Amino acid sequence: MTNDSARPGSAAAEPLLRLRGIEKHFGAVEALRGVDLDVPPAQVTALVGDNGAGKSVLVKCIAGIHEPDAGKIFFEGKRVHIRGPKDSARLGIEVVYQDLALCDNLDVVQNMFLGRERLSRGFLDEDSMERSASQTLADLRVTTVRSVRQAVQSLSGGQRQSVAVAKAVMWNSKLVILDEPTAALGVAQTRQVLDLVSTLAERGLAVIMISHNLNDVFKVADRIAVLRLGEMVGQAPASQFDSQAVVELMTTGRSSRDGDASERPSAGEGR
Amino acid sequence: MTPDPDTSREPRRSDAPEAGEAEARRAPAPADSPRTLGGLLREWWTQILAGESGVLPVVLGLIAIGIIFQTQNARFLSAGNLVNLLVQGSVFMLIGMGEVFVLLLGEIDLSLGFVAGIGGTVVTELVQSGTSWPWWAAIAMALAVTTLIGALQGTLVTRLRLPSFVVTLAGLLGWQGVMIRLLGVGGTISIPDETINNLANGTLSDVTGWLLAAAVVLVFGAATVVQDGKRRRSGLAAPPRFLTLFKILVAAAAASGLVVLTNVDRGVRAFPVSGMPWVIPIVFGVLMVWSVLLGRTRFGRYVYAIGGNAEAARRAGINLARIRTIAFALAGLTAGIGGIIYASRLRSMSTSFDGGTIVLYVVATAVIGGTSLFGGRGHPLHPILGGIVIAAIVNGMGLLGLSAAIQLIATALVLLASITVDVVVRRRGETAH
């Protein structure tokens, strides 16, 4: 699997992931109503919205945990059907959930390779795995982890988040989805994790970051997509938003600012 | 944000060996790399403070027990008594190594005592003059039966999602019934096969003991040197040379000490007894095989992962039901070995075999040694250390002429102390981040 075809010449390249008219119902509840979303490579796309806006459902549709009732998903320009987590993993989509899913009793290397251990002559090839894990952390400029042979339970919240992210990007992934990566972190650790998020995009990965915290969003996001009650009410480069506009979109679905209107749901089509 | 062309086409899996050095330079090198003795000790102390004390508490406990009993009765640390103590504890140690598989998953197996009883009974029955199986076939059959029992109980736990406590409680009752049925009305059946009786009662010649110890130290030394050397060459954090040497010297000293100890005549004038009991290499062999299985294979890694965070293991694509069932089966297999040693020690099997008490002691040995009841933390070495502790208490108090009542109370206190260490360590781990 090579990533080269996905590498953009510029920020305006073909989106890695395109969603068109995604709908999802749970009984009578309409969780997603015709959502369009463009996720370009080498950029951080922040997905914001109030509680119940449908952010999690949308992410789960991409991750293959839910199957959309209607709509189309394009990945690298081709229409794809994501029916389970295995399908999304095969495409190169990795999700870092809020609960991180790390084994506290295992060390950093063991966690990063869990389920995909390398073997040599039938036994675990610890040295090769340790080298690759250290390499990935170094590439991501995660320097705070003292030793990769440290049990995860002894790490701080920010370090754990970093390990979870490193685990997700190690497998030639092309799109990394982060669910509230800075929730429950202190100031310094939040900065650590946000730096890491930027690094991912610099390395050419597409990143979707779900966040409640608009400060964080404006620090790292290249694009912002606003969901409200299951509808995409705004989607544009971050430079075209300010906090107030985003808050207005999140709460009322409209923004009083000029210039934003043209970047509303149709924005993705025009690119 | 335009990606740097260099970083955007990174080979994320670089297996090329020559890349090793370059990687190591860029990798987050452990800042306080323990190159010196002081650095090593500091590192170790940090780990202990972080709650990774390992076998330290139980080793300290053993030293304390040794000092206390030795000052009260000079016979306690005599060669004869120490060897006796190892043999006394061997049944608990073996069954305990089986229990560790299940405890690591965060489950418990209460049936292992009577599963061991079934193992001993099957061997005893098969070598009777009526059936007269050869000893090896009888042992193979007994182990196959106990493995199947473990697999059956594991299947009930994993496929039907029944609590392991209840499934194995049923096993505790049911397998005792089966055992009594197999042994029949007579109650006690003696073993006519000398090989089987020798498993627990036979001894190696002095020379064989030395050869065996030398072989073990040689293999251990070679493996350590090769492994540490490989890590040093590839630029990974490796222990300094003096530590590698130190580890080998300690192993050599321990092995020689054990051989010297077991080669001392511990019999009476008319019946001299010396030499390493067969059961010591048997326990050691099981320890080695299970340590490698748990530490160096995918299966072992997954057992720890499931015990640490089953949900994370599931998301990593691990087949939880399969790993759990195999773990229960291996627990049954190991308990079977323990049962055969039990029967061998008594040269017979009887309906008075108390698998209920044995399994409780077995769980105690694992916990005393440092295995967590909550899953994810444990090692086959733990029940061996815990088994020595329990055997030492029972043996030492016996030497002092203390009653069974006092022995039980003392064992209970040691168990309480160990579980306290376990829980406190866990809490420390949780608050560390």
At what angle are helices B279-296 and B381-399 packed, to 10 degrees?
150
- At residue A113, the pLDDT reads 93
pLDDT tens readout for residues B114-163: 999 999 999 999 999 888 899 999 999 999 999 999 999 999 999 999 99
Partner A contacted by B352 (CB < 8 A): no
Decide if A171 contacts A116 (C-beta within 8 A): yes
Helix and strand totals (H; E) in chain B: 18, 2
Tell whether B6 lies on the interface with A, counting CB pairs under 8 A: no
Provide the chain A residues 173-212 that lie in CB contact (below 8 A) with chain B.
201-204
Poorest-confidence range of A18-27, A82-91, B89-98, B290-299? A82-91
Residue-averaged pLDDT of chain B: 85
3-state DSSP of B273-307: CCCCECHHHHHHHHHHHHHHHHHHCHHHHHHHHHH
Option in A137, A154, A202 nearest B432 (CB): A154
Residues 6 or more apart whose CB falls under 8 angstroms from that of A271 comprise: A12, A15, A38
pLDDT tens for A178-213 read 988 888 788 888 888 898 899 889 988 999 999 888
Of the partner residues A43, A115, A222, the one whose CB lies closest to the CB of residue B317: A115
**Rounded Cα gap, residues B198 and B341, in angstroms:** 9
* H or E element that contains B192: none
Q: Does B17 touch chain A (CB under 8 A)?
A: no
Distances (CA, A) of A230 to A34, A53, A78, B246: 8, 5, 25, 65
Is B7 in contact with A7 (Cβ distance < 8 A)?
no
Q: Which residues of B377-398 are buried (b: 16+ CB within 10 A; e: fewer)?
A: bbbbbbbbbbbbbbbbbbbbbe
Task: Note whether A135 contacts B23, CB cutoff 8 Å.
Answer: yes
Q: What is the pTM of this model?
A: 0.84
* All CATH 3.40.50.300 domain ranges in chain A, comma separated: 13-92+174-268
What is the rounded average pLDDT of the residues A263-267? Answer: 43
Window 213-232 of B: residues touching A by CB (8 A cutoff) are 230-231
User: Does residue A200 contact residue A220 with C-beta atoms inside 8 Å?
Assistant: no
Count residue pairs from A and B with Cβ separation < 8 A: 154
Q: Is B301 on the interface with A (CB under 8 A)?
A: yes
Residue-wise pLDDT for A57-111, tens only, equals 899 899 888 889 999 999 998 999 988 888 888 899 988 888 778 999 999 999 9
List the structure tokens of B377.
């933390």
Q: Which residue in chain A has the smallest CA separation from B13?
A: A132
CA distance A264 to B6: 35
Q: Which of A124, A146, A154 sits opposite B298 (nearest CB)?
A: A124
A69–chain B nearest CA distance, Å: 24
User: Quick one: tokens of B21?
Assistant: 């050095």
Q: Is A45 on the interface with B (CB under 8 A)?
A: no
Does the A13-92+174-268 domain belong in CATH 3.40.50.300? yes
Which residue of chain B comes nearest to A185, CA vs CA? B433
Å from B112 to nearest chain A CA? Answer: 26
Query: What are B330-350's pLDDT values in tens digits?
Result: 999 999 999 999 999 999 999
pLDDT recorded at residue B264:
87
Going by C-alpha positions, the residue among B239, B142, B98, B316 that lies closest to residue A103 is B316
